[in-house]
Every structure is written in structure tokens, then in C-alpha cells.
């Protein structure tokens, strides 16, 4: 396992001494928070970064520091991608395939969290449709561009512990909608996608992994009121106190993005392929009580049979086979 990093490690610490000149890396959600920092750190170490953003004007404004910090030939270009619209997803993928330039790493970073009930333009529940199905179609359509030896990193969350995927009711047609339950389902789906993508592409030397960045105060929580966030933190601190652990603290954005770049360009593919990572290392499987300060991935999120079943369901939902 490369390096000895932890929850406090930052992107620049993880990439210290790493030369990414000649590497081309795609990052979705590069107009805010973790996506901007991920792009900045990679470009600062010489990578050519393609940032996929829903709003190009917002993306241009948000990535000024990425361009300012780019070094050793690194740089940034932006493309338009709305993961809540399969028409946009397919158009963006088609443009990249027509361009033909390969990617060494794809980081599926974009996402939404705890949204009110709603549907994407294609009629999918918002969080499952955006976080999972949008990336499912986009990444699969550009899979031929990932170079042998390349890597896919999908951003999941400890929120996957809230729920397994529901293969019988992915759209909450028969289940009462709960924002965090829906978020948990979508984050489990992100892990299962990485597991199955890894199985399908490892013969080409391409490995896929899922990462949890940690709790960071970013735009991701914009659908949660300050009162909701405060109540959640109070609940977490009560659990931590009962377990004899220190109070909850948010990670900084550079700390949150560290695991993405570590898993993408530092860690060995054999170490992280088909696995779930947090705090810059591979997480253990844990079925017991997990406190906010502890680590662990639920076994259902790494289940190969369930990953295959989700893949088949996703193909049926989007009307496309990969």
C-alpha cells in the first residue's frame, strides 16, 4: 500500500513528490467543493484535467484557482454534463468518444444529497438517478477511453450504511420517501457499480474503487437546513460521547479530496480494485455498530452478486446495455 496517510492527510501531502505529467484525468462535479480541490491538486502536479460540470459559467468562475495552481504542464478544460439528464450524459460522452483522447483516471465525484423527493428529467428518483444512473451511463459510454492500467474512482459515502439498494423499488413507488434513506441507497449503488466495473475491466488492467471522502462542509449539504445539520451533529456527538470518543469535527476540503487522489493515482490498483476506501486506505468490512469516528463498509455494498443484479437493473432502467 502506497504511503502512510490518514484522515488528516491533505491532497498536497498525498501527492507530494508525485509527477502526473502526461496523465489525463476526468473529474465530474468540478465546479464546487471536492471536485474543484481534486482538479486543483491533480493539475498542480502536472495532470491535464477535464472537468465535467453542469453549469459552464459557474465552472469557469469556480476553477480560477485550478488554473492558477497548474504546473509542470498541467491544465484544465471544462465540458458540460448534467447527470440528471441522460440526453446531456450521452451528448457529453459522445463528444469525448469522438475526440478520442484517452483518460488515465476517471473520478466520478459529482452528486447530490438529501434532496426533497423529485425526479430527474428521465423520471428517476433524483438521488439514485443523479448519483448512480447518470454516472452509470456516462462512465460506461466512455469506458473505451480509459487506458489499460487506468482507474475509475467513484465517490460514495459512509451514508451507504443507511441503506442497501432496493432492486424492487428503486424509485420509491411503494416505499415512503426519506431523503437520507434515498441518499444511502444511491451511495451503496456507487460502491456496487465500482465492484462490477472492476470485475468487467480488470482483464484490461483497469481497476475501479469507491471512496468515502469524510464529512466536509460543502455545497453538497445545501438541501439540509442549519437546524437539520445541527441536530445531526448533536446526535453524532452523543454517540461519540457514549463510546468515549472525541467530539465530531468536519474535515477540510483538501483533507476530504485526499482519498480520491490517493485512490486514483497513488495506491496500487491491486490494493484498491473492487474495494471501498476512506482516510487514504482500504476499509474493513464491518457489520456491527459503527460510531461516526469509526470506519467500515457494509458487506452488502461489496457483494458481487448484488453488484451484478444492480448492473442489470440499471441497464433496463436506462434502456442501454454495456
pLDDT, tens digit, 9 for 90 and up, residues 289-322: 565 556 899 999 999 999 999 999 999 999 999 9
Whether residue 94 is predicted with pLDDT greater than 50 in this model: the reply is: yes
Can you list the domains of the chain with their CATH numbers?
11-220+251-318 (3.40.50.720)
Task: Place 151 in a pLDDT band, splitting at 50, 70 and 90.
Answer: very high
For the purposes of burial, counting CB atoms within 10 Å of the CB of 260, is it exposed (0-12), middle (13-18) or buried (19 or more)?
A: buried
Whether residue 175 is predicted with pLDDT greater than 50 in this model: the reply is: yes
Which residues does the annotation mark as catalytic? 156, 183, 187
Whether residue 234 is predicted with pLDDT greater than 80 in this model: the reply is: no
pLDDT digits (tens, 9 = 90+) for 261-279: 999 999 999 999 999 999 9
Report the alpha-carbon distance of residue 117 to residue 176 in Å, rounded.
Answer: 10
What is the reported pLDDT for 150? 98
What is the reported pLDDT for 4? 85
What mean pLDDT is predicted for residues 70-74? 95
Which residue, among 100, 104, 84, has the nearest Cα to 318 in the 3D structure?
Answer: 84
In degrees, to the nearest 5, what angle opens at C-alpha 192 toward C-alphas 211 and 109? 40
Which residue, among 49, 89, 91, 44, has the nearest Cα to 65 in the 3D structure?
Answer: 44
Report the alpha-carbon distance of residue 194 to residue 107 in Å, rounded.
Answer: 11
What is the reported pLDDT for 1? 43
Element of type H or E holding 47: none
Amino acid at each position: 500500500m502506497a504511503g502512510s496517510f490518514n484522515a488528516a492527510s491533505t491532497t498536497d501531502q498525498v501527492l507530494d513528490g508525485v509527477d502526473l505529467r502526461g496523465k489525463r484525468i476526468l473529474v465530474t462535479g468540478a465546479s464546487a467543493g471536492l471536485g474543484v480541490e481534486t482538479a486543483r491538486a491533480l493539475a498542480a502536479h502536472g495532470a491535464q484535467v477535464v472537468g465535467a460540470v453542469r453549469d459552464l459559467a459557474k465552472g469557469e468562475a469556480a476553477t480560477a484557482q485550478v488554473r492558477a495552481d497548474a504546473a509542470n504542464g498541467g491544465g484544465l478544460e471544462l465540458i458540460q454534463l448534467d447527470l440528471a439528464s441522460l440526453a446531456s450524459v450521452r451528448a457529453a460522452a459522445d463528444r469525448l468518444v469522438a475526440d478520442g483522447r484517452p483518460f488515465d483516471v476517471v473520478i466520478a465525484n459529482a452528486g447530490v444529497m438529501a434532496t426533497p423527493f423529485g425526479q430527474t428529467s428521465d423520471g428517476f428518483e433524483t438521488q439514485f438517478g443523479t448519483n448512480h444512473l447518470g454516472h452509470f451511463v456516462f462512465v460506461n459510454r466512455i469506458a473505451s477511453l480509459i487506458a489499460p492500467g487506468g482507474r475509475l474512482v467513484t465517490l460514495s459515502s459512509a451514508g451507504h450504511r443507511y441503506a442497501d439498494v432496493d432492486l424492487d423499488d428503486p424509485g420509491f413507488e411503494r416505499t415512503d420517501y426519506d431523503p437520507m434513506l434515498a441518499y444511502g441507497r444511491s451511495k451503496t449503488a456507487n460502491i456496487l457499480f465500482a465492484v462490477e466495473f472492476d470485475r468487467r475491466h480488470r482483464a484490461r488492467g483497469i481497476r475501479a474503487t469507491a471512496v468515502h471522502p469524510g464529512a466536509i462542509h460543502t455545497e453538497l449539504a445545501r438541501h439540509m437546513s442549519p437546524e437539520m445539520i445541527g441536530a445531526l451533529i448533536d446526535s453524532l456527538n452523543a454517540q461519540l460521547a457514549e463510546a468515549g470518543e472525541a467530539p465530531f469535527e468536519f474535515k477540510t476540503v483538501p483533507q476530504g479530496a485526499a482519498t480520491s487522489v490517493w485512490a486514483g493515482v497513488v495506491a496500487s490498483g491491486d490494493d484498491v480494485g473492487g474495494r471501498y476506501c476512506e482516510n487514504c486506505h482500504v476499509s474493513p468490512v464491518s457489520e456491527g455498530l459503527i460510531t461516526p469516528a469509526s470506519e467500515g463498509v457494509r458487506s452488502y455494498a461489496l457483494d458481487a452478486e448484488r453488484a451484478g443484479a444492480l448492473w442489470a437493473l440499471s441497464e433496463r432502467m436506462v434502456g442501454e446495455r454495456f
